[in-house]
Amino acid sequence: MTRGGCKRTSDSAGTTVSVIEAGIPDPGRDMVFSETRIGVWSIRAGTLAILLVSWEFYGRSANPALFVPFTGVVSAFVDMALVSNELWLATLDSARAMFIGFAVAIPIGTALGLLIGRYKIVEYVLDPYVSFLYALPMVVLIPLLIIWIGIGTPARIIIVFLECVFPIIINTTIGSQQVPRSLLDTASSFGASERQTIRTVVVPSMLPYIFTGVHVAIGTALVGMLLAEMLVVLRGLGGLIVTASNSYQPARVIVTLFVLVAESLLLVGLMGRLRNRLMPWSQQHGRVGG
């Protein structure tokens, strides 16, 4: 039924809702240009062009020690990436420490979260310490880590690990506690052992929460990497930022920030592909709901 130019439909319970409210495309409505794929990308490209032109004009009138035009950033990128190669060397150096800490945090965080959420005795023992360390800013532990471990790659790896592991633990704990009771009862009625129940029921139900924790940990991994490199070892991308800022070279700082953003987007994209591969139903749900 049509009312006021808005097409109506009824759900299974007989409730009348608008097609727009239900999120269902209306084939009878003409799609405006801004809703087409070309329109969306045209708006994005136009917005980006305005931003870059404004950046260029403002940068040309600003103090070069404080701000530079976009062409100055491009020039700095060419110098750092193609002439001296220091940008790629720093990126590889940072990525090595970050990926090691991140890769170690995923299985440890997932295992601890599963144990805390699944077994009450483990929750009673570990939950206060996990909550305390998660609330504690990791930057305050850096002086102690320098005293205990020294400065170098091990310190960077441990700082990244500590930044990553707690979001994974907390999200995995929530996931293991949210497993539907009906699924656990069904597994028990079929005589499944504890190991079989965890492998076939608990872990599949936890996957969305695990990926949420890992997604959060990507951002905290970059924070931990920068903290370690800017405050402990002065190398990698964090070292480039500190060196460039101390010598009043904002173009080099901005280039490094762009590389960090690209690295973060790459990790998020790879994690999204892995999530869709392991949980194809989530991708289908995202298409229906989005």
Per-residue confidence (pLDDT) for residue 20, from 0 to 100: 45
d(C-alpha 104, C-alpha 114), whole Å: 16
Measured distance CA(80)–CA(73) in Å, rounded: 10
Domain boundaries, the chain: 2-68, 80-289
Taking the C-alpha atoms of residue 41 and residue 46, their distance in angstroms, rounded to an integer, is 8
pLDDT at 28: 54
Measured at the CA of 55, the angle between CA 51 and CA 59, to 5 degrees, comes to 175
**CA–CA dist 211, 106 (Å, integer):** 10
pLDDT tens by residue, the chain, 290 residues: 444 444 555 444 444 544 444 445 555 556 676 678 887 888 888 999 999 999 999 988 888 888 899 999 999 999 998 888 899 999 999 999 999 999 999 999 999 999 999 899 999 999 999 999 988 888 888 888 888 888 888 889 999 999 999 999 999 999 988 888 888 888 888 887 888 888 888 888 888 899 999 999 998 999 889 988 988 888 899 999 999 999 999 999 999 999 999 988 998 888 888 888 877 765 544 433 33
Contact indicator for 25, 7 with CB cutoff of 8 Å: no
Q: Taking the model in full, what pTM does it have?
A: 0.76
Q: Determine whether domain 80-289 maps to CATH 1.10.3720.10.
A: yes
User: Tokens 């070292």 correspond to what residue?
Assistant: 239
- Nearest-angstrom CA–CA distance, 102 and 124: 27
